[in-house]
Amino acid sequence: MALNTSWTRRPGTQSDRVGSPVEAIAARSPRSIRGFTLVELLVVIAIIATLIGLLLPAVQSAREAARRTGCQNNLKQIGLASQVHASARKHFPTAGGNTQDLYFAPAPGNGYARAGWAFQILPYMEEQGLHKLAVDNNDPYRGVPTLGDTTIMEVPIAGYKCPSRSMRQSQPTQFGEVYHMSDYAGVITDWTFEWQTVADSKANRRKHEEERQRAWRGLIAKGGQAYSGGVYDAWPTITPGKVPDGTSKTLLVMEKSVSAAAPQPSPTNWTWWEMPGWIGNADWPMMRLVFPASFKVKDAVPRSDTDLRVSANDPERAFGSAHTVMHGVFGDGAVRSVGLDVDIDVLYRIGVRDDGLSVNAGTMTQ
């Protein structure tokens, strides 16, 4: 007797509407397929937005930490280059000469460096070629043929730029030149003198002698003073072995104040606290002020980039930072943090090489 393999369909059952076992199984387990509702979609978007909101600060914090590390590394290299300079030249780099005598070649006769500390340490920051080009060209405002007729001050030096401030440069001049800035400066301890002029007079010479004794008590002292008529007075240099307070307790170079509202100085109006950029000598672009608190000099109070200024043209004479703390390199090459709210007297003591006052590292950050 043959086996009957056909399905018996009973009226009124599911099997009446399907034609195979597979269809029957599928029909017994129906699945409805539908898309997201608007409410569900909004919930998913809200969850994603919340996750982004939680992760973004962490990403930004990580980026800023990397930029802060880059800034510290810049200062470490500046400190190392300054130590190599001190070893090779037997003294720390100087602030150079007075502003009206800004040239790359040394002063005639006694040979003190007329360009500032940032220029002097170029050979020890793997920029020997640029240093030689500049000395051979001498005039900082004259184009260099081998650089496409651009000036030395148009060449960016990455090691002088804080990563949190990007590659700061000036607004273009009327000739299209763009000067590159430095975010780091040495220490000056007074500023009430005629330090820029080359005018020769008994009165000016008295002022310059007072300036030498009062304004240049940091590790980076002025190299000399030029006078009209081709007279050049070289000033005493600072050697590592003759720092009464000790190189480990004396600030060499630190971040300087820059307004976030006006990061690009103007060559037209000549933003004198920034121009002509990293090639600057014994003046505000590459030197910043420390002062005793009793003198109540607001220009010496450190400022964050985001601190309110009186105006976009509010002069910058102090140290400061784009970070939550300032970073500075000391005479021994160590990079240390200094609080933006540091006591002004503490800042003065670490800036001066010969006041005989010791500062505990813990007092530099409050």
Q: What is the spatial distance between Cα 123 and Cα 106, in angstroms, rounded to a whole number?
A: 15
185 burial type by CB count under 10 A (0-12 exposed, 13-18 middle, 19+ buried): buried
Q: Are 290 and 187 in contact (CB under 8 A)?
A: yes
pLDDT tens-digit profile, the chain (366 residues): 444 544 444 444 444 444 555 455 445 555 555 667 888 888 888 988 888 887 777 777 778 889 999 999 999 999 999 999 999 999 999 999 999 999 999 999 888 999 999 999 999 999 999 999 999 999 999 999 999 999 999 999 999 999 999 889 999 988 889 999 999 999 999 987 887 899 999 999 999 999 999 999 999 999 999 999 999 999 999 999 989 999 999 999 999 999 998 889 988 888 999 999 999 999 999 999 999 988 888 888 999 999 999 887 889 999 999 999 999 999 999 999 999 999 999 999 999 999 988 787 667 765
* Token digits of residue 201: 């007079």
Q: What is the spatial distance between Cα 94 and Cα 110, in angstroms, rounded to a whole number?
A: 15
* Token digits of residue 179: 């000067």
Straight-line distance from the first to the last Cα atom of the chain, in angstroms, rounded to the nearest whole number: 103
Q: What is the spatial distance between Cα 329 and Cα 71, in angstroms, rounded to a whole number?
A: 11
Domain definitions of the chain by residue range: 53-244+262-291
Q: What is the spatial distance between Cα 50 and Cα 361, in angstroms, rounded to a whole number?
A: 41
Q: Quick check: pTM over 0.85?
A: no
* Token digits of residue 287: 């030197």
Q: Are 114 and 101 in contact (CB under 8 A)?
A: yes
* Token digits of residue 186: 């040495």
Q: Are 292 and 246 in contact (CB under 8 A)?
A: no
Q: What is the spatial distance between Cα 21 and Cα 240, in angstroms, rounded to a whole number?
A: 96
